[in-house]
A and B are shown apart, each in its own frame.
Chain A
Amino acid sequence: MKKIAIYGKGGIGKSTIVSNLSVAFAKKGLKVMQIGCDPKADSTIALRHGKHLPTVLETVRRNRDFALEEVVMPGYGGVACVEAGGPIPGLGCAGRGIITALEKLKEKGAYEIYQPDIVLYDVLGDVVCGGFSMPMRSGYADRVFIVTSGENMSIYAAANIAMAIDNFKGRGYAKLGGLILNKRNVRDEHKKVQELCTEIHTSVVGELDFCEIVQEAESLKQTVLEAFPDSHMAKQYMQLAEQMLEQAE
């Protein structure tokens, strides 16, 4: 079982990329589980065609002895979809929420029961606290990929995430697999991202064009691979999935 965490600045397009990757892996014949680690709980929305998925935390709040089927539901391509969820807005601790949700899934034997070939953790924005570093820990993801564009804030966030991974290198946590360049067509985009790669000793594993097809698929509440399977973007997602698998070996 391969476990991959995708980090990146909020709004950079992680959930869109992760959902498309899930479908790409599923198309390769792999059993996929996608776990959204964001209190917004919208990671798997394109896989579920906009249908609500009860989050782990809201389910735990309702019933501590919940059944896995209540929080793990199939999405497009047979992807097992999970949303960690978060506290009541304005209250509680989002990081602690992620910790609880991931611990509950483990405690309930989600990985053993669903036996996915690949698990994708879609993790909110920056590593703002210990809770958001949970997917990097031993027993969770083996590899971390960071989504970035050439925008300064995105590069800054990516550098912070890389720093967190580096801080944990002595602990046997997840290793950095590389960057995913989600282009925004800003000036010197390649150059800036290459500079970041040099700084954090990694490389770009794949590039995704800035393309309106992605927004169109989103408005249809579908992944690009479902809505526009023959598009060049669909090919890019498939290629990215291939490269990530190689990196994760």
Chain B
Amino acid sequence: MLTNLREEACIESTRVSFADAHFPVPFRQGLEYSSPVRGTWNIVHTGMLIPESHQIFVCAQGCLRGVVLTAAEMNALDRYSSVMIREENVIDGTMESLMIEGVADVLHKLNYRPKAVLLFISCQHFFLAYDQELVFETLRERFPDIRFMECYMIPTLRKSGLTPDQKMRMQLFSLLEPKEKDHKKINLIGSNLPISITSELVKILNQNGYQLQLLNWCETFDDYMDMAESCLNLVYEPIGIPAARDLEKRLGQPYCYLPFVFDFDELEKNYRKLTDRLNIVPQSYEKEKEEAISALKSAKELIGDACIATDYTFTFRILSFTKMLLLHGFHVTELYADTFLPEEQTDFEWIREHYPEIQIISTNRPDMRILPKERDDKVLAIGQKAAYFTGTDHFVNVVESGGMFGFDGIRQIAELMKDAYLNEKPRKEIIQKKGYGCESCI
């Protein structure tokens, strides 16, 4: 019989002030709690970005639960299949034939012909070191009209080497083959969500005759394959860098990293880096900057000194974002995160120096499961996790920065903050939906 060993949560283990926090990992690593916040994307959502593709997961039945629910929830079950590994496949070493015949069976039974198959292998394949080359070569020979993408669902490697998310974003472009380069085509890769078309970045490229392409904007599989024609890959999320490096190596497409930051000077540096790279005349961003400042000022006037909580699901550069809010007078009291990116150290040190009392609160420490969630004061949360843990219905519902890049992005975020402060959102209904931005049947 299970016994409740401790009724009170150990709050101290879940929070630390910037003054006392270690960078980049402020909390002890160990048993983790997973909150019901589901807005961030997983490998199924990301893979579905490839038009005319079908996903096949090969793993033990128990491991299929999460991915099949994701596919069902996003109304994409017609683009999802699975092949189950049984004990005899492990004992008899028939993993290769199971994969080949299983996938063939799925393809024969489908009522459409996918242009590409994203074939996911799991921990079992890794432990057994099945012959991946043989499996994919055989499938490619047997189905020459279908491209097979090697994809991985190996959570046991979550904390060593590339994370499943980084790997997925890299594999996503693995089907691209060398093509003649078009010097007026540029890709933006490594992000799940499309960039806002009003962003200065898009304008710079459009005004100089460049055609920007994103996976999100591809309507056909051929559009996706044509991304190999681009002469440059832009990447603004650090998680997309392995993909950019891989494309540089395989296709000879150089890449330019323009960090998705919220620091005004850093943004201008980004644009200078881009214009230098493309050898085009830099322009002034004063108007966009003023609009961003004005929107932030207006938001500050409305929100005043109300408590603001931010979280890492809102943006990969949460410290840059939080610093920007602090610089514009907002009263940030807490930040929900478990680790930080190495490149955030400068922002971390700045907050530590100027606002050492701000609390960093874990989202995955086991004691977070029973912390009181309702608060008396009005809190504006920026990000779904901050909303969940502070129990506020006033929150900005955005994941992965929502593509709101640059000064224009900051302006948009300020508007969203105002809206969130004035209007409540159905928190429970929103945060339980997987992959915010994807279709959901819930």
Q: In the complex, what's the smallest C-beta–C-beta distance from B104 to chain A, in angstroms? A: 16
Residues in A neighbouring B128, C-beta threshold 8 A? 130
Of residues 81 to 120 in A, which have CB atoms within 8 Å of B's CB atoms? 93, 96, 99, 103
Residues in B neighbouring A131, C-beta threshold 8 A? 129
A173 to B129: give the CA distance in the assembly, Å: 15
Q: Is the CB of A134 within 8 A of B134?
A: no
A96 to B126: give the CA distance in the assembly, Å: 9
Q: Is the CB of A96 within 8 A of B131?
A: no
Q: Is the CB of B134 within 8 A of A96?
A: no
Residues in A neighbouring B93, C-beta threshold 8 A? 129-130
Q: In the complex, what's the smallest C-beta–C-beta distance from A139 to chain B, in angstroms? A: 8
Q: Is A191 located at the chain interface by the 8 A CB criterion?
A: no
Residues in B neighbouring A137, C-beta threshold 8 A? 131
Known: A130-B93, A138-B134. A64 touches B160 (CB 8 A): yes
List 7 A-B pairs, minimum CB-CB distance, nearest first: A99-B129, A130-B93, A171-B134, A130-B128, A96-B127, A137-B131, A138-B133
Given A134-B129, A138-B134, A172-B134, 14 more A-B residue pairs with CB atoms under 8 Å apart are A93-B127, A96-B129, A99-B129, A103-B129, A129-B93, A130-B93, A130-B128, A130-B129, A130-B130, A131-B129, A137-B131, A138-B131, A138-B133, A171-B131
Residues in A neighbouring B129, C-beta threshold 8 A? 96, 99, 103, 130-131, 134
Residues in A neighbouring B160, C-beta threshold 8 A? 64
A106 to B3: give the CA distance in the assembly, Å: 50
A63 to B29: give the CA distance in the assembly, Å: 20
Hey, what's the 0/1 contact readout for A26-48 against B, CB within 8 Å counting as 1?
00000000000000000000000
How many contacts between A and B, using CB within 8 angstroms? 21
Residues in B neighbouring A96, C-beta threshold 8 A? 127, 129
Give the A-binding residues of B (Cβ under 8 A): 93, 127-131, 133-134, 160
Residues in A neighbouring B130, C-beta threshold 8 A? 130
A9 to B162: give the CA distance in the assembly, Å: 39
A93 to B130: give the CA distance in the assembly, Å: 15
Q: Which residue of chain A is the closest to B137 with respect to CB atoms?
A: A172
Residues in A neighbouring B133, C-beta threshold 8 A? 138-139
Question: How large, as a class, is the contact surface on chain A?
Answer: 10 to 19
Residues in B neighbouring A139, C-beta threshold 8 A? 133
Q: In the complex, what's the smallest C-beta–C-beta distance from A93 to chain B, in angstroms? A: 8
A131 to B128: give the CA distance in the assembly, Å: 8
A139 to B133: give the CA distance in the assembly, Å: 10
Residues in B neighbouring A93, C-beta threshold 8 A? 127
Q: In the complex, what's the smallest C-beta–C-beta distance from A61 to chain B, in angstroms? A: 12
A93 to B129: give the CA distance in the assembly, Å: 12
Residues in B neighbouring A171, C-beta threshold 8 A? 131, 134
A96 to B124: give the CA distance in the assembly, Å: 12
A138 to B133: give the CA distance in the assembly, Å: 9
Q: Which residue of chain A is the closest to B128 with respect to CB atoms?
A: A130
A138 to B138: give the CA distance in the assembly, Å: 14
A134 to B133: give the CA distance in the assembly, Å: 13
A-B contacts, 8 of them at CB < 8 A, read: A96-B127, A129-B93, A130-B93, A130-B128, A134-B129, A138-B131, A138-B134, A172-B134
Q: In the complex, what's the smallest C-beta–C-beta distance from B306 to chain A, in angstroms? A: 46
A239 to B131: give the CA distance in the assembly, Å: 36
Residues in B neighbouring A103, C-beta threshold 8 A? 129
Q: In the complex, what's the smallest C-beta–C-beta distance from A65 to chain B, in angstroms? A: 11
A12 to B130: give the CA distance in the assembly, Å: 29
A6 to B196: give the CA distance in the assembly, Å: 61
Hey, what's the 0/1 contact readout for A119-149 against B, CB within 8 Å counting as 1?
0000000000111001001110000000000
Q: In the complex, what's the smallest C-beta–C-beta distance from A66 to chain B, in angstroms? A: 14
A62 to B267: give the CA distance in the assembly, Å: 41
Q: Which residue of chain A is the closest to B93 with respect to CB atoms?
A: A130
A131 to B130: give the CA distance in the assembly, Å: 10
Q: In the complex, what's the smallest C-beta–C-beta distance from A164 to chain B, in angstroms? A: 10
Q: Which residue of chain B is the closest to A102 with respect to CB atoms?
A: B129
Q: Which residue of chain B is the closest to A138 with respect to CB atoms?
A: B133
Q: Which residue of chain A is the closest to B95 with respect to CB atoms?
A: A130
Residues in A neighbouring B127, C-beta threshold 8 A? 93, 96
Q: In the complex, what's the smallest C-beta–C-beta distance from A84 to chain B, in angstroms? A: 13
A171 to B129: give the CA distance in the assembly, Å: 15
Residues in B neighbouring A99, C-beta threshold 8 A? 129
A137 to B133: give the CA distance in the assembly, Å: 10
A125 to B128: give the CA distance in the assembly, Å: 19
Q: Which residue of chain B is the closest to A130 with respect to CB atoms?
A: B93
Q: In the complex, what's the smallest C-beta–C-beta distance from B342 to chain A, in angstroms? A: 16
A172 to B93: give the CA distance in the assembly, Å: 17
Q: In the complex, what's the smallest C-beta–C-beta distance from A163 to chain B, in angstroms? A: 13
Q: In the complex, what's the smallest C-beta–C-beta distance from B198 to chain A, in angstroms? A: 43
Q: Which of B93, B131, B133, B160 has the most CB of A within 10 A?
A: B131
A103 to B128: give the CA distance in the assembly, Å: 13
Q: In the complex, what's the smallest C-beta–C-beta distance from B167 to chain A, in angstroms? A: 15
Q: In the complex, what's the smallest C-beta–C-beta distance from B238 to chain A, in angstroms? A: 20
Residues in B neighbouring A129, C-beta threshold 8 A? 93
Of residues 165 to 181 in A, which have CB atoms within 8 Å of B's CB atoms? 171-172
A172 to B160: give the CA distance in the assembly, Å: 32
Q: In the complex, what's the smallest C-beta–C-beta distance from A57 to chain B, in angstroms? A: 14
A238 to B253: give the CA distance in the assembly, Å: 51
Q: Which residue of chain A is the closest to B96 with respect to CB atoms?
A: A171
A130 to B128: give the CA distance in the assembly, Å: 7
